[in-house]
């Protein structure tokens, strides 16, 4: 079997045309957090190996069809589609991903040094040691989808992590992902199973509806029509948005429209009434009310601040 080692993966894009089509993107946020984003179509069987030191690692399988095979501490683990695994970092342990030919893989590996976290005198390694270990292989997993964790990972992937401000945001996403995984692991098994009730197809439909809303905020959406389009029941759709976006469908639509309005205030010369109708709302007073509740200022005041900043910059 061919082997690609972590030390061969350079910052930015790494392509090995002999083994796969696609890329492995590496981003070092600081000396304590590293992100590997892997999108591969494998040509041949090969393994990808990493040295794990005093680090916690979270691996999230973003693929909707292929399970991910990894070997850690002599144990073989399968990570189901849309699921994740937490590895309890121990010095001098190796992590290997095993890829089969003619299969697609899409996953993210986040490596976080234990020293990056210490709260009120409690070190991350101490917290990890208290968690229930799956056998003796230092691998904690839950093979049911966690939509909140998966959604944050999608945000992390979409983020351009070159600029320093985006690296800070990416670091925050990594913290949230680790926190969600720790919370999942600490939860009662029955509670986890109850909260993760979505099949791969249903998650893809939730992602599709999310994309439709984000790309068409001006449309008048109806829950009944969204359910018909996705094939999900009202309860399933609402539960999916609650898990994935931490809000109902209606609030998600409202938030998307507010974000679009902010963008238009920044980039166009439209007045507030024109923006209100451009984002699918019918009442200026309602728009002003929800805008002020969300951003703690009125749209008019926000527009004035933008103009003043533009004049001072000129």
CATH number of 2-195: 2.60.120.10
Please report, to the nearest 10 degrees, the dihedral formed by the alpha carbons of residues 177, 179, 184, 188 taken in order: -170
What values do phi and psi take at 39, rounded to 5? Answer: -130, 105
Q: Which CATH superfamily includes the segment(s) 200-313?
A: Homeodomain-like (1.10.10.60)
> b/e map of 51-62 (b: 16 or more CB within 10 Å)?
ebeebbbbbbbb
Please report the pLDDT score of residue 13 as a whole number.
Answer: 67
Same fold, 2-195 and 200-313: no
Would you tell me the crossing angle of helices 249-267 and 299-313 to the nearest 10 degrees? 30
- pLDDT for position 125: 59
pLDDT digit string, tens, across residues 98-116: 999 999 999 999 998 877 6
pLDDT at 14: 67
Residue boundaries of the structural domains of the chain: 2-195, 200-313
pLDDT of residue 51: 82
Residues (pLDDT < 50) of the chain are 132-137
DSSP label at residue 136? T
Q: Going edge to edge, which strands form the sheet with 33-42?
A: 12-14, 20-30, 33-42, 104-113, 55-61, 84-88, 139-142
């Amino acid at each position: 079997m061919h082997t690609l080692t972590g030390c061969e993966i350079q910052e930015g894009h790494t392509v090995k045309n002999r083994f796969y089509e696609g890329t492995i993107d590496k981003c070092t946020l600081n000396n304590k957090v590293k992100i590997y984003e892997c999108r591969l179509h494998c040509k041949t069987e090969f393994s990808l190996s990493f040295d794990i030191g005093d680090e916690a690692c979270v691996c999230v399988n973003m693929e909707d069809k292929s399970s991910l095979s990894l070997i850690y501490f002599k144990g073989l683990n399968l990570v189901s589609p849309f699921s994740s695994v937490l590895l309890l970092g121990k010095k001098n342990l190796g992590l290997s991903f095993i890829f089969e030919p003619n299969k697609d893989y899409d996953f993210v590996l986040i490596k976080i040094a234990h020293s990056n976290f210490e709260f009120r005198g409690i070190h991350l390694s101490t917290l990890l040691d208290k968690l229930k270990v799956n056998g003796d292989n230092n691998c904690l997993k839950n093979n049911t989808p966690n939509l909140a964790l998966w959604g944050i990972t999608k945000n992390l992937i979409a983020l351009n992590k070159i600029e320093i401000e985006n690296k800070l945001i990416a670091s925050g996403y990594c913290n949230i992902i680790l926190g969600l995984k720790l919370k999942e692991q600490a939860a009662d098994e029955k509670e986890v199973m109850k909260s993760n009730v979505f099949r791969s197809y249903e998650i893809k439909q939730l992602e599709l509806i999310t994309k439709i809303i984000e790309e068409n905020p001006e449309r008048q959406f109806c829950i009944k029509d969204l359910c018909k389009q996705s094939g999900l029941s009202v309860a399933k759709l609402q539960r999916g948005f609650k898990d994935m976006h931490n809000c109902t469908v209606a609030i998600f639509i409202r938030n998307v429209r507010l974000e679009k309005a902010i963008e238009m205030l920044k980039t166009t010369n439209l007045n507030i009434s024109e923006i209100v109708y451009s984002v699918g709302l019918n009442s200026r007073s309602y728009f002003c009310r929800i805008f002020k509740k969300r951003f703690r200022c009125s749209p008019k005041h926000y527009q004035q601040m933008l103009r003043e900043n533009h004049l001072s910059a000129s």
